[in-house]
Amino acid sequence: MKNLFLTILLLLSTSLYTQERELKITVMNLKGKPMRSVKAEMIHSKISALTDKTGILVIKGFSEEDSVLISFPGSEFAGIYPVKGINELHFNNSKNEQIAYNPITQSWLTGKSKKILRRGEFDVESEIKNGATNLEDLLKRMPSLMVTGGTLSLRNPVQTKEFSNTAPLIVVDNVVIRGGLQEANRVVNINFIESIKVERDGTLWGKDAVNGAILIRLKKQL
Domains of the chain: 20-115 (2.60.40.1120), 124-218 (2.170.130.10)
**How far is the C-alpha of 213 from the C-alpha of 184, rounded, in Å?**
13
pLDDT digits (tens, 9 = 90+) for 197-209: 888 888 888 888 8
pLDDT at residue number 157? 56
3-state secondary structure of 211: coil
Asked if pLDDT for residue 188 goes beyond 90, the answer is yes
Q: Over the chain, what is the mean pLDDT?
A: 82
pLDDT band with cut points at 50, 70 and 90 for residue 156: low
Numbers of helices and strands, H then E, in the chain? 4, 16
Tell me what percent of the residues of the chain surpass a pLDDT of 70: 81
Mean of pLDDT values over 47-52 = 94
pLDDT at residue number 27? 94
Asked if pLDDT for residue 193 goes beyond 70, the answer is yes
Asked if pLDDT for residue 91 goes beyond 80, the answer is yes
Measured CA to CA in angstroms, residue 3 lies from 7, 8, 10, 15 at distances of 6, 9, 10, 18
pLDDT at residue number 18? 44
User: What are the φ/ψ torsions at residue 198 (nearest 5 degrees)?
Assistant: -100, 125
**How far is the C-alpha of 67 from the C-alpha of 58, rounded, in Å?**
14
3-state secondary structure of 116: coil
Asked if pLDDT for residue 117 goes beyond 70, the answer is no
The strand ranges marked E within 46-184 are 48-50, 56-60, 67-71, 77-82, 88-92, 99-102, 107-110, 112-115, 145-148, 151-154, 169-172, 175-176
Asked which of 59-73, 80-94, 108-122, 127-141 is least confident by mean pLDDT, the reply is 108-122
Burial grade of 48 (CB within 10 A; 0-12, 13-18, 19 or more): middle
